[in-house]
Amino acid sequence: MALPAVRSSSPVDRWSPLFEFEDLSNQLSRMLYSAMNVAEPAWRGWSPMADLSETEDAYLVEVEVPGVKREDLTVDLTGRELRINGERKQKQREGWFRHRTRRIGRFHYSVTLPQDVEADKIDASLADGVLTVRAPKSASAKPRRITVSGG
């Protein structure tokens, strides 16, 4: 049974085949390192899973960062580019790994927001392993209805 397609003209929903190649490359890398039973090199870095959604008055970025402490995260905005950096540190364990799929080390996620935001009103919170960044749209970016005048 085919699922209905959801279509939107919102800039957040625009798709690019390059996103698919990046996801495929990340998945293949994880599978290869897992098959070789070795951890990915820490210098390589990685990008956590994330969602970008849009409401009438703000953009919402939700990034999966389980096991990462608040003090190991940074959130920066330059122009419309939102950058999130952090590190998931390896826990001290006894014994050795037989199999490992969770990523450790430094990570980076960045997204270009479709429109300008009010930088001084952006807030970020960490709860249940999810970093949530709320970026309110600037007044010029919010949709508004225009009254038609004349006869």
* Same structural domain, 79 and 23: no
The pLDDT assigned to 3 comes to 47
CA–CA separation, 92 and 90 (whole Å): 7
Q: Which residue range forms the structural domain that includes residue 60?
A: 45-91+102-140
Q: What is the mean pLDDT of the chain?
A: 82
* Same structural domain, 84 and 67: yes
CA–CA separation, 52 and 63 (whole Å): 9
Q: Is residue 3 part of a domain?
A: no
In the predicted model, residues of the chain with pLDDT beneath 70 are 1-19, 23, 37-44, 141
Number of domains in the chain: 2
* Same structural domain, 49 and 109: yes
Q: Is residue 147 part of a domain?
A: no
Q: Is the pTM of this model over 0.75?
A: no
Q: Is residue 111 part of a domain?
A: yes
